[in-house]
Amino acid sequence: MELNGTYTFAAPPELVWDAIMDPEVLANILPGCESLEKVSDREYAGVLNVRVGPVQGKFSGAVLLSEMNHPESFHMDIDGKGAAGFVKGGGDAKLTFVDGQTLLDYSGEAQVGGRIASVGQRLLDTSARSIVRQGLESLDRIIQTRLAPAPAPEPAPGEAPPPSTPPALTPPSEWDVALGVVKDIFEEFVPEEKRPLVLGALGALAVLILVWLLKAIFGRDD
């Protein structure tokens, strides 16, 4: 499985780099992340709860950083395994400052095995791209928050103003992540000209299910 792409941050490379290297930030932007801790300056260990199609499972693994050139580039190796299978791979990231913005270029390859690989290559690729996209969008929101911290409350008369602090990080919910993956899968698998028809059919199905549930609850039969 290959992953590559670009993302633009309206922030300097140093701020983007610091956010990427912050384990608290990573734990709150990685979809399905249950825990993440910094083992050393270049190694992280954590647990991810990943769903790909009908397969879901927890993966325990490690992330090792190397070839670090602050704040321009780094290499990342990942190694994770769980009851649903395993994932192992590596990739490179490059940060370039262009016209007041930071362009992130990333590329990598991963080997996936076990039950999670049984969903098929296309679904696996689409789900992986969706998870990366959602993670980068969450990272962007955190970076923008750091650029514009929340205003400090008004001090009481005679008191010194308290220092302003950014709002607490909130990890994405499983529901939000699942909706994002479903949206990307829908756009990947359904041709644009057929989407209105498919959405209409899904809407009709939802209405039928709702009617059936109401009848089941209230015991009404026609």
Query: Which has more pLDDT, 207 or 129?
Result: 129
Whether 190 has a pLDDT exceeding 60, the answer reads no
Residues 9 and 138: beta-carbon distance below 8 Å: no
Q: Considering only 6-15, 70-79, 104-113, 114-123, which range has the smallest mean pLDDT? A: 114-123
pLDDT at position 220, please?
53
Whether 167 has a pLDDT exceeding 60, the answer reads no
DSSP string, 114-132: SGGGGG-HHHHHHHHHHHH
Over residues 32-53, the pLDDT tens digits come to: 788 889 999 899 999 988 777 7
Model pTM score: 0.70
What's the mean pLDDT in 162-188?
Answer: 55
DSSP state at residue 193: G
pLDDT at position 30, please?
80
CB under 8 Å, gap of 24 or more: what pairs does 117-125 form? Answer: 117/85, 118/55, 119/52, 119/53, 119/54, 119/55, 120/53, 121/1, 122/188, 122/189, 123/52, 123/53, 123/185, 124/1, 124/52, 125/1, 125/2
